[in-house]
Structure 1
Amino acid sequence: MSNKPNLLLIMCDQLRFDVLGCYGNNLVKTPNIDRLAKRGICFDNAYSQTPVCMPARHGLISGLHPFELGLTDNTENIEEISDPLPKLVREQAYFTCAVGKMHFVPVREHHGFDRMYLSEEIPTHIQDDDYLLFLQEQGYSHIIEPHGKRSENYYVPQVSDLLEEMHSTAWVGNKTCEVIRGNKNRPFFIYTSFIKPHPPFDPCSPYNTMYDIEDIPAPIHTEEERVPDDLTTDIQNDYKVNGIENVNHEEIMKLRAHYYGCVSFVDKQVGKILDTLDNLGLTDNTLIIFTSDHGELLGDHYAFGKRSYYEASTRVPMIVSWPSVLPLDERRAQFTMLQDIYSTFITVSGGTVPAASSGKNLIQAGIHPEMPFRNKVIAEFGRRHTLKMMIRWENYKYIYHANGGLENLYDLKADPNELHNIADQYPQICANCREELAAYYKSYDFSEALSGEQLIKYDRIKHEFKGYLNQYPVWCED
């Protein structure tokens, strides 16, 4: 048996950091994720640099800022990744495997994975998707939307048409355990990625009734936020929710309850994976990182979805467990990003991290909390009018919106719910942040963020509702 540690990345899609017990939630049942946290370290200030699926995931596997790949939103115009994570780990004599949602373009782009077992959100061909083939083999090919009904039902709480063991969440957990058992005698890198709790929120029984809406905390917002200044939030609400004003309080509470049910369903699969490692005697020599690509607003700030630099959207869980090396049941305050997973896995596998990577080694931050690591996070999302930029440092967060040059400044120690924009009270801090952002993007030649030497600013516009985004499935037609 090799002395090389096994590597396991567990990712959820659209998982808020604050719905986990290990991050302070006393309602949502996540005993297995909490068990993992007790076996390692929780990083309390982990951020998704571009909080939407494709940029976050490609930033992780490339080790680069998403904008360096041409990704500031969900687009298919991706620059070639020269040193993807699976490829560099595979070169160190690892078996590499992807299980679940990858969101790569093209779908079967392997980036160095030896084997891929895919379950994507909106596959266009059943042959591209291992989970759909599984459903077909089990006699469930009549289920046209196995991940929940989208389009006008995107944010309508639902119950899955599938039994628990047929659901993609269970399939990803079971397949991961199968891959671990099949490769127990050689070092492996497995990237396990759950679609949930990404909407539609469609837990199967009994998770759909696990949480009583009377126990669910209400969304956090102020009346002034009902008409957001953030154009991207406007768009998100319109094409997927048809405006926050059209969703009543009871519907929002039920939606939140179903979201929590999806989280607990994922947690059960994490438990299966941990049990498999325990039973095979692999736990001590397996480095596990658990995270998410971004969060979900769930009605906070009168908004749904992500695409925002509110904490609920951009801050993610980051749990790092390696019992034979790292301390147990501890926390770290360093600022971390998804690219740090890239650098960590490559270093631990025995490889060399490319100089271009913006990632840092989480193992060093875990073992030596006093070491300098990263004192801030700079982030960006969107194009033209939807472009926004963030600096997160110490207790503060600054957000600049290209749409009208609007600014937000929050003191997260005094105002952890981000309800009080203090930008007008501290014009010099805002000016310093604009100057720092402009210099930063100039150093990367990120011209979309700049107008000359300053941050770009467009005349402010409001979004006009044009109808729901059409996300009906097409795979059934072939």
Structure 2
Amino acid sequence: MADKLNILFITADQWRGECLSALGHEMVKTPNLDALAKEGVLFKRHYANAVPCGPSRASLHTGMYLQNHRSGTNGTPLDARHTNWAKEAARLGYDPVLFGYTDTSQDPREEDPESPWLRTYEGPLPGIRPVAMMGTWPTPWTDWLKREGYEVPDDIRYAYGHRAHGMEYEDGGAVPRPLVYPKEVDDTSFLTNRLMDFIAESGKPFIAHLSLLRPHPPFVAPEPFNAMYDPEAVPGFKRKATHEAEGEQHPWLRHQLSRKLYRAPENEKKLRRLKAVYYGLMSEVDEALGRVFAFLKKSGRWDNTLIVFTSDHGEQMGDHWLLGKCGYFDASYRIPLIIRDPREEAYAARGTQVDRFTENVDIMPTMLELIGAEIPVQCDGASLRPFLEGREPATWRREAHWEFDFRDPANDSAEKRLNLTMHQCTMNIIRDEKFKYVHFTKLPPLLFDLEKDPDEFTNVATDPAYLPVMLDYAQRLLSWRMNHDEQTLTHISITDGGPVVRPAARY
């Protein structure tokens, strides 16, 4: 395996796609990711396939759309019959390792009834070996902080947002309150340091998944990143005058805005503080990754390491009066993707930017193809290798697709408010350069003319002038779902002469 590629697969949780200075963002500074893009390929129209974390990462790690892996919510088990990139890489002799989390809910049929993984949705992806596993409970980090002499909250879940004493910005403070821990010892630094320690000690090709929490909430950053961006100067919010006016767009949106946890605060100074700190956490991640990239260069591994940087989903951050990730708006689904392929074949494409629509389901096929592994039939995505080598694929999708399953087995409020069954709490979305179509199982559809209305305020689904467009995009969505029905065994036929196997491309 001496000539095998290393892979560093990085996810930064909840990172909006436009928030890279390489894309001309008006405020966010990401010099190290910009430099990575200059040596790799930046995918400008990259989308998650589901939200929140668990469903999105199920798609990311299996290469499957939600309609096929069916892990639709945080806590929905991922069927053990599905393979993933870690299992497939292990077949070639790699030892896939994890720094952070994968939010994989384990299949209870495969676990002992007393298994601790049946009491949390934050289990590890099957096939991956956790080296420093951190999620809601950051035990490796907080145990290390204690050994280093730092105080840790009794409930260690609150360490991520443990703020220094003082007045908060919206209450009169000069800047947002910082994390109590210095940047050298916070959770981002801890995980990146553990990653570098592992690589330094490894004497064989590695595949490491670095899954960072930031810029995911809590929106609390260490100094100086807490004050790096002026809350008064952050870009404004794409929203109507009130959340009540916003909710008139659709019954689902009205319901979502009735839930205080997901509605942006009406205190403008607080919302601006959250956005400024959100940007600051991005810049902190960028700085930490810069240290990792410098380490790879100094240790001689840079020219043999495939680097993938992306996210699981975006963040509404006040747009349409929403916080978090949900629904159908681009802010929740458009995310960054940068891939640096060190192979000589990829040299000509370095520094290029791709305008074609790409999705998280494409990442597993890409990594597997580049290490010489077979791409499983289950994968709904396609390898990005042609783009990495400066070639245009013979066929490629013309739009992006995603799904949102808003059922909640523990809370039937959406069902009661919207007159739905639990299984009807779903929506499917298709969008291209011109239009976005949103189809609900049992609610009115939405159509946005993105050329006239890029911020998705005006639903034209009932405008007679758009009826041909509605029909076209509804048919496209139906064809997409039919084309991507689960197909694991459908290319096999049992005959008198034995099984006949004939794999075929999705498109």
Which TM-score bucket, shorter chain as reference?
A: 0.7 to 0.9
Name 1:460's counterpart in structure 2: none
Instruction: Pick the aligned partner of 1:221 from 221, 234, 239.
Output: 239
Q: 1-side partners of 2:124 and 2:50: how far apart?
A: 21
* C-alpha deviation, 1:142, in angstroms: 3.0
* C-alpha deviation, 1:72, in angstroms: 2.5
Q: 2-side partners of 1:52 and 1:110: how far apart?
A: 16
Instruction: Pick the aligned partner of 1:340 from 362, 384, 387.
Output: 362
Whether 2:402 is the aligned partner of 1:387: answer no
Change (3 A) 1:444 1:363: closer
Name 1:432's counterpart in structure 2: 472
Q: 2-side partners of 1:369 and 1:240: how far apart?
A: 48
Q: Is the 8 A contact 1:177 1:276 kept in 2?
A: yes
Q: Is the 8 A contact 1:237 1:304 kept in 2?
A: no
Q: Is the 8 A contact 2:386 2:392 kept in 1?
A: no
Letter in 2 for 1:356: Q
Instruction: Pick the aligned partner of 2:396 from 373, 392, 399.
Output: 373
Name 2:457's counterpart in structure 1: 419
Change (3 A) 1:445 1:65: closer
Q: Is the 8 A contact 2:17 2:46 kept in 1?
A: no
Name 1:451's counterpart in structure 2: none
Letter in 1 for 2:381: G
Q: 1-side partners of 2:361 and 2:219: how far apart?
A: 28
Q: 2-side partners of 1:302 and 1:198: how far apart?
A: 18
Instruction: Pick the aligned partner of 1:315 from 329, 334, 340.
Output: 334
* C-alpha deviation, 1:70, in angstroms: 1.8
Whether 2:126 is the aligned partner of 1:111: answer yes
Name 1:283's counterpart in structure 2: 302
Q: 2-side partners of 1:232 and 1:173: how far apart?
A: 40
Q: Is the 8 A contact 1:158 1:201 kept in 2?
A: no
* C-alpha deviation, 1:233, in angstroms: 4.8
The TM-score with structure 1 as length reference comes to: 0.84
Change (3 A) 1:439 1:101: same
* C-alpha deviation, 1:366, in angstroms: 2.6
Q: Give the secondary-structure state (helix, strand or coil) at the position aligned to 2:326.
A: coil
Aligned length: 433
Q: Is the 8 A contact 1:100 1:119 kept in 2?
A: yes
Change (3 A) 1:77 1:295: same
Q: 1-side partners of 2:95 and 2:79: how far apart?
A: 26
Q: Is the 8 A contact 1:219 1:300 kept in 2?
A: yes
Whether 2:353 is the aligned partner of 1:331: answer yes
Change (3 A) 1:76 1:38: same
- Structure 1 window deviating more from structure 2 (312-321 vs 365-374): it is 365-374
Q: Is the 8 A contact 2:86 2:128 kept in 1?
A: yes
Q: Which sections of structure 2, spanning at least 5 residues, go unmatched?
A: 106-116, 164-169, 171-175, 408-422, 487-507
* Deviation sequence 1:1-26 (CA, Å, 0-9, x none): 81111111110110001111112213
- Structure 1 window deviating more from structure 2 (46-55 vs 321-330): it is 321-330
Letter in 2 for 1:344: T
* C-alpha deviation, 1:108, in angstroms: 4.8
Task: Note the 1:137-176 alignment, pairs <5 A.
Answer: 137-140=147-150, 142-143=152-153, 144=155, 145-148=158-161, 159-176=178-195
Letter in 2 for 1:393: D
The TM-score with structure 2 as length reference comes to: 0.79
**RMSD (Å), alpha carbons:** 2.5
Task: Note the 1:176-191 alignment, pairs <5 A.
Answer: 176-183=195-202, 185-191=203-209
Q: Is the 8 A contact 2:152 2:159 kept in 1?
A: no
Name 1:130's counterpart in structure 2: 140
Letter in 2 for 1:355: V
Q: Give the secondary-structure state (helix, strand or coil) at the position aligned to 2:198.
A: helix
Change (3 A) 1:375 1:406: closer
Q: Give the secondary-structure state (helix, strand or coil) at the position aligned to 1:175.
A: helix
* Deviation sequence 1:165-218 (CA, Å, 0-9, x none): 2311111221122122122x4211111011011111010111111111232111
Name 1:471's counterpart in structure 2: none
- Structure 1 window deviating more from structure 2 (344-353 vs 109-118): it is 109-118
Q: 2-side partners of 1:162 and 1:231: how far apart?
A: 43
Q: Is the 8 A contact 1:233 1:303 kept in 2?
A: no
Q: 1-side partners of 2:323 and 2:103: how far apart?
A: 21
Q: 2-side partners of 1:242 and 1:344: how far apart?
A: 34
* C-alpha deviation, 1:73, in angstroms: 2.7
* Deviation sequence 1:68-112 (CA, Å, 0-9, x none): 222233233332253121111122122321111221233453522
Q: Give the secondary-structure state (helix, strand or coil) at the position aligned to 2:379.
A: coil
* C-alpha deviation, 1:302, in angstroms: 1.7
* Deviation sequence 1:368-423 (CA, Å, 0-9, x none): 44222222222211145642211123432212234631313232x44433334333
Q: Give the secondary-structure state (helix, strand or coil) at the position aligned to 1:59.
A: helix
Task: Note the 1:27-42 alignment, pairs <5 A.
Answer: 27-42=27-42
Whether 2:11 is the aligned partner of 1:11: answer yes
Q: Give the secondary-structure state (helix, strand or coil) at the position aligned to 1:67.
A: helix
Task: Note the 1:224-303 alignment, pairs <5 A.
Answer: 226-227=246-247, 229-230=249-250, 233-234=253-254, 237-239=257-259, 241=261, 243-244=263-264, 246-303=265-322
Change (3 A) 1:300 1:33: same
- Structure 1 window deviating more from structure 2 (347-356 vs 62-71): it is 62-71
Q: 1-side partners of 2:485 and 2:95: how far apart?
A: 37
* Deviation sequence 1:283-305 (CA, Å, 0-9, x none): 12211110010000111122111
Letter in 1 for 2:124: E
Q: Is the 8 A contact 2:230 2:276 kept in 1?
A: yes
Q: Is the 8 A contact 1:17 1:23 kept in 2?
A: no
Change (3 A) 1:243 1:293: closer
Change (3 A) 1:228 1:260: farther
Q: 1-side partners of 2:162 and 2:431: how far apart?
A: 36
Q: 1-side partners of 2:177 and 2:12: how far apart?
A: 19
* C-alpha deviation, 1:439, in angstroms: 4.9
Identity, % of aligned positions: 28
Name 1:26's counterpart in structure 2: 26
Name 1:68's counterpart in structure 2: 68
Change (3 A) 1:213 1:329: same
* Deviation sequence 1:26-81 (CA, Å, 0-9, x none): 31121111111111111111111113100111111111112322223323333225
Name 2:502's counterpart in structure 1: none
Q: 2-side partners of 1:356 and 1:362: how far apart?
A: 17
Change (3 A) 1:193 1:439: same
Q: Is the 8 A contact 2:89 2:368 kept in 1?
A: yes
Q: 1-side partners of 2:248 and 2:290: how far apart?
A: 39
Q: Is the 8 A contact 2:87 2:127 kept in 1?
A: yes
Q: Which has the larger radius of gyration?
A: 2
Change (3 A) 1:81 1:316: farther
Q: Is the 8 A contact 2:47 2:334 kept in 1?
A: yes
* C-alpha deviation, 1:328, in angstroms: 1.4
Q: 2-side partners of 1:278 and 1:377: how far apart?
A: 35
